[in-house]
Amino acid sequence: MDPNFQSLFHTRITFRGRESQVELRVPAYAEVFGLILEAHLRTPERMLVMMPAEFKRIIRSIDGAPVKIEDARQLYADAQAAGQIVAARNRLFETLAEQGRIFMQCPHCVKWEAEVSVTALTVALEAGPWPIVDQRMFLAVPSLAQHFPPRIRFAQVHGTSRIRFDLPSTVIGLPGPINEGILTAAGHIGDASELAAWERWVKPWQGTPNHEQWRQEVPGFRAAVRLAAALANSGNQTAEINLETVLDMPVIDFHFLDNLHYLAQNASIRDVNKATVSCGLCGESCLLVF
């Protein structure tokens, strides 16, 4: 792993009356999607279950020892220790999710790509980023689980013809099921690609053991299906990108793609000049969105 990011995985907390060393981990999205709740469902009683479950998944060790569920419950009961863990988780997830690379193809010559970062894209569009954490405490509902009003686009300027990406895990050196891919214009609520994804990847497993949360009512899973429907193989790998790919990817990769999907497909453009780039080959202009 890139040594520039190693410090994000380590923090010190005050726990059980002494200072302890905590090592964090980046879980797969499959480990945490079921812990994402709509705001009105985050009752104190429910969070007594959800937050310790999350702590157990994001903490690799405390003072070198694996974390048991009872340790996680005690952490959550200790307001100071819990706050320190949450702050460290926020830094880890938010920093790493910004490390992906984005390449937007010129729609005119289709031979040139503009490379942009997540930060540059949010500045250009004056939108986002979509939050990973809500109220600095809870895992936020992904943008892909939301319904958005029609976006504002400018007909006189073409949008990009393709968005290619390198995932954050690839950039920083974490293992994951894929390294790169293409974000397509699919994945909207109720469109044909989403309906086909539910039919192909979800329906055969519904009602079977260990798939109880594979339901529309679970926002984190709903978002995963929509993302899987919107991804395509870049051609540099042979494996199909499907729902299992999305569920197996590190959570930072999921949030990078959720944010990219929101910016490219749902965010309205406030200033067309800021959101436009000129092709380095043909000189024509295109928007940094679909």
pLDDT for 109 equals 97
Q: Which of 79, 96, 113 is the last residue of a domain?
A: 96
What average pLDDT does this structure show over 253-259?
Answer: 98
| 72 and 155 housed in the same domain | no
| 270 and 152 housed in the same domain | yes
pLDDT tens per residue, range 115-141: 999 999 999 999 989 999 999 999 999
| 267 and 173 housed in the same domain | yes
| 38 and 142 housed in the same domain | no
Give the percent of the chain with pLDDT over 90.
86
Helical spans, DSSP H, in the chain: 29-32, 44-58, 69-77, 79-96, 118-125, 168-172, 192-197, 219-230, 243-248, 251-261
| 205 and 259 housed in the same domain | yes
* pTM score of the predicted model: 0.95
pLDDT tens per residue, range 5-28: 999 999 999 999 999 999 999 999
**Assigned token pair, 90:** 């926020």
Rounded to 5 degrees, φ, ψ at 91 are -60, -45
Residue 107 belongs to domain spanning: 101-287
Number of domains observed in the structure of the chain: 2
Q: Cβ contacts of residue 259 below 8 Å, gap of 6+?
A: 97, 118, 128, 129, 130, 143
| 146 and 233 housed in the same domain | yes
| 218 and 184 housed in the same domain | yes
**Assigned token pair, 231:** 């991804």
| 169 and 196 housed in the same domain | yes
Residue 191 pLDDT class (50, 70, 90 cuts): confident
pLDDT for 65 equals 97
pLDDT tens per residue, range 29-81: 999 999 999 999 999 999 999 999 999 999 999 999 999 999 999 999 999 99
What average pLDDT does this structure show over 237-247?
Answer: 88
| 252 and 185 housed in the same domain | yes
Residue 268 pLDDT class (50, 70, 90 cuts): confident
**Residues 36/147/97/76 CA torsion (nearest 10 deg):** -20
